[in-house]
A and B are shown apart, each in its own frame.
Chain A
Amino acid sequence: MFKRKDKKPPKATYKEVWSKGGWASKLSFFLMGVSSLKNRQWVRGIAYLAIEIAFFAWFVMNGISALSMLSNLGAIKKKQLVFDKQEGVYITKLPDNSVTILLFGVLAVLLLLGIIFLYVTNLRATKKLYIDNRDGEHVETNMEQLKSLFDSRLHTTLMTIPIIGILAFTVLPTLYMISMAFTNYDSKHSIGFSWTGFQAFGNVLSGDLAGTFFPVLGWTLVWAVCATATTFFFGVLLAMLIESKGIKFKGVWRTLFVIVYAVPQFVSLLLMAQFLDPQGPLNNILMNWGLIAHPINFIGASASPLVARITVIVVNMWIGIPVSMLVSTAIIQNLPQDQIEAARMDGANALQVFRSITFPQILFVMAPSLIQQFIGNINNFNVIYLLTGGYPMNNNYVGAGDTDLLVTWLYNLVFGQTQRYNASAVLGILIFILSAVFSLAAYRRTNAFKEG
């Protein structure tokens, strides 16, 4: 703690570069790359210059309009009949497409930030060139710079393409959706929508969607706790059973269980739904054995909410226990044996050893990954969507059923009939906050036992 960073005064300030630098240094404040060109760093200089020219060309042609339209997301919100004086007829004017306006607006903001970042790196390079020239140090040549891309600047080479991919396919969509939460984009404003501040948050937290949000949030948390706890606990038990003394062909036993997890979920879960159907094989077997008189509605439209919820948790155990078993096997094999042997000597039985030694040790090692699993379960789309599809529907809910989680509800709000796009974006943000809180807990927990 309290590490003092030795702050050396900078070799030169930008002010100095500006006032004392040559014409190239000065010009670099406006035309990126000029001082690089002057110092014969051709590739870097041309790249900077070309990027700047391309940016301004785009900015003048599209960028300015994209940014200015971002302020109101298009002037025309509704279909209008406008009298065209020149032609003397009425023509319909379609509303401005706010979806595209918002998308290109966000894209323009990102590009603007990108060029600012490049401008800063350009200034930094200019300053370095100024210092090198001033102090008579070696100035990097063009070839040296190119070679450094494979040595001291290897990270630039390796990371550029992936970062562009992340920006385009993760950052841009995420920013776009976050901004959508502050609009009134829904089925009533499906083409032209406008900024409405926190109104959509209000709808979800205290408006017409609150009656769905809080029960679904409650069930999501209950589900996440149950799903994580059951798979973990029984996974540990199964792992210990397979690892126990005398069992042969441990690998084969493990593989038998892992098969269930390895089958693609859209196959195993979609067909599980058929397996549990009132007319499906499970009910058939149970009736043939005389265990039940009438078919049970495990899932589906006419199932009772409680039965459907329990079924979902049980089916999740079917899928989740094998993974949890695999992970705890790896931990069990590395557990220190001395404590267990000491306890045995003192006459502890198997149950006591498990309860007081093995299980706490595993829990301790797995605590961070358990919180990760918990977050994964909050976002567990497949099990609910493929197995129940949210059924049975709940008439008190808007676009959700009794087994719907926040994520599947989010999906329904977009692709279902309700079409509350802004509300779905709000849900996304709320899920993010939920995950962030639990991740923070996990992070602190990890740090805690690193120090301890």
Chain B
Amino acid sequence: MKSYKVQRRLSLTFRYLLLVVLAVIWLVPILWIILASFSYNDTGFVSTFWPEKFTIQNYVGILNSSQFPFLDWMRNTFIVAVISMVLSTFVTISVAYALSRLRFRFRKPFLQIALVLGMFPGFMSMIALYYILKSFNMLNLGGLVLVYVGGAGLGFYIAKGFFDTIPRSMDEAAIIDGATRWQVFIHIGLPMSRPMIVYTALMAFIGPWIDFIFSGIILSSSGNARTYTIAYGLYNMLHSTKGSSTTYFTQFIAGCVVIAIPITILFVIMQKFYVNGITAGADKG
């Protein structure tokens, strides 16, 4: 009996030890990023794990930099994110609701076409998007919003999976009572899917903060750093720091930390939805 207890305790200790080691391995690079953002350095390189000298100058520097208008980037990204959040959520929820709850002639074809379109690599369309926006003179933040919202119609899978789980009997009861489908959508569908709307909105909001590819292609041709969004601005900053102005490397890290913190927190809060999304997607195949 005693040996069993000892064995169990040993196993638990071992498992805790393993978890701690793994967690440390996982978090060391993240910790280094935070430490490096506080390190005093002008060689353009942080080669030690623990900074030799702490400073908050990197944060002061990036927030007041004239070469890298960080606050302009923040403002641009915020505007793009808010507009794209509102419009994308509207688009995504409408499509998901229609595909899940309504039955109409081109529902099946639409689902099939969406499946096929989703298999083309997104990069393929980027050159085309560039020329489309260029020929309409939209290589700016407005064009970026359009690209994000235009793509939202195909991001319906998670929300549709959610609507599919709401029992249809409530809709039917309401319709028997004389409600129109619009009233069902507004008074039953939307209130019951509040968590899904929040999730969709937050995802649409986060998108512009982490996308450096589309924003890079669309915004880079202006050559004016003040019109960049944050992700492309920072990405571009590192590429210019690799060349001549290596002094800004630690400022780059500071800028990264500033935007990574809120996004990380948002994402950690939403992790449960994220899992539901993946497993819901799995059912659809």
Q: A216: CB under 8 A from chain B?
A: no
Taking the closest CB of chain A, its distance from the CB of B51, in whole angstroms, is 10
Interface centre among B15, B128, B185, B235 (most CB of A within 10 A): B128
Q: A202: CB under 8 A from chain B?
A: no
- Number of B interface residues in the complex (CB < 8 A): 89
Q: A348: CB under 8 A from chain B?
A: no
Q: Are A280 and B47 also in contact (CB < 8 A) when A257-B23, A432-B121 are?
A: yes
Question: In the assembled complex, which residues on chain B have CB atoms less than 8 Å from the CB atom of A246?
Answer: 8, 11-12, 15
Q: A345: CB under 8 A from chain B?
A: no
Segment of B64-72, B191-199, B207-215 engaged in the interface with chain A: B207-215
Taking the closest CB of chain A, its distance from the CB of B105, in whole angstroms, is 9
Q: B6: CB under 8 A from chain A?
A: no
Is the CB–CB distance between B26 and A260 below 8 Å?
A: yes
Q: A151: CB under 8 A from chain B?
A: yes
Please tell me which one of the listed residues B8, B110, B209 contacts residue A264 in the complex, with CB atoms under 8 A apart.
Answer: B209
Q: B123: CB under 8 A from chain A?
A: yes
Question: In the assembled complex, which residues on chain B have CB atoms less than 8 Å from the CB atom of A53?
Answer: none
- Write the A239-270 contact mask toward B (1 if CB under 8 angstroms, else 0): 00110101100000111111111111111101
Please tell me which one of the listed residues B15, B125, B152, B285 contacts residue A162 in the complex, with CB atoms under 8 A apart.
Answer: B152
Q: A279: CB under 8 A from chain B?
A: yes
Q: Are A369 and B182 also in contact (CB < 8 A) when A247-B16, A259-B30, A268-B29 are?
A: no
| Chain B interface, >50% SS class | helix
Q: B271: CB under 8 A from chain A?
A: yes
- Number of A interface residues in the complex (CB < 8 A): 96
Q: B27: CB under 8 A from chain A?
A: yes
Is the CB–CB distance between B120 and A247 below 8 Å?
A: no
Question: In the assembled complex, which residues on chain A have CB atoms less than 8 Å from the CB atom of B12?
Answer: 246-247
Q: A190: CB under 8 A from chain B?
A: no
- Tell me the nearest residue of chain A to B29, going by C-beta: A275
- Tell me the nearest residue of chain A to B148, going by C-beta: A169
Is the CB–CB distance between B47 and A443 below 8 Å?
A: no
Within 8 A of A (CB), among B226-276: 231, 234-235, 238, 253, 256-257, 259-260, 263-265, 267-268, 271, 274-275
- Tell me the nearest residue of chain A to B175, going by C-beta: A151
Q: A18: CB under 8 A from chain B?
A: no
Q: List 7 A-B pairs, Cβ < 8 Å.
A: A173-B129, A176-B125, A244-B15, A246-B8, A260-B29, A262-B265, A410-B124
- Tell me the nearest residue of chain B to A435, going by C-beta: B119
Interface on A for B, CB 8 Å cutoff? 99-100, 103-104, 147, 150-152, 154-155, 157-159, 161-163, 165-166, 168-174, 176-177, 180, 238, 241-242, 244, 246-247, 253-268, 270-272, 274-275, 277, 279-281, 284-285, 318, 322-323, 326-327, 329-331, 365-366, 368-369, 372, 375, 379, 381, 407, 410-411, 414-415, 421, 424-425, 428, 431-432, 435-436, 439, 442-443, 445-447
Question: In the assembled complex, which residues on chain B have CB atoms less than 8 Å from the CB atom of A365?
Answer: 282
Q: Are A428 and B210 also in contact (CB < 8 A) when A152-B181, A446-B285 are?
A: no
Within the assembled complex, what's the spacing in Å between the Cα atoms of A434 and B79? 38
Taking the closest CB of chain B, its distance from the CB of A11, in whole angstroms, is 17
Q: Are A168 and B150 also in contact (CB < 8 A) when A177-B127, A259-B264 are?
A: yes
Interface centre among B91, B120, B147, B263 (most CB of A within 10 A): B120
Question: In the assembled complex, which residues on chain B have CB atoms less than 8 Å from the CB atom of A173?
Answer: 124-126, 128-129, 132
Within the assembled complex, what's the spacing in Å between the Cα atoms of A247 and B19? 10
Q: Are A100 and B135 also in contact (CB < 8 A) when A241-B19, A267-B260 are?
A: yes
- Tell me the nearest residue of chain B to A275, going by C-beta: B29
Segment of B53-61, B94-102, B159-167 engaged in the interface with chain A: B94-102
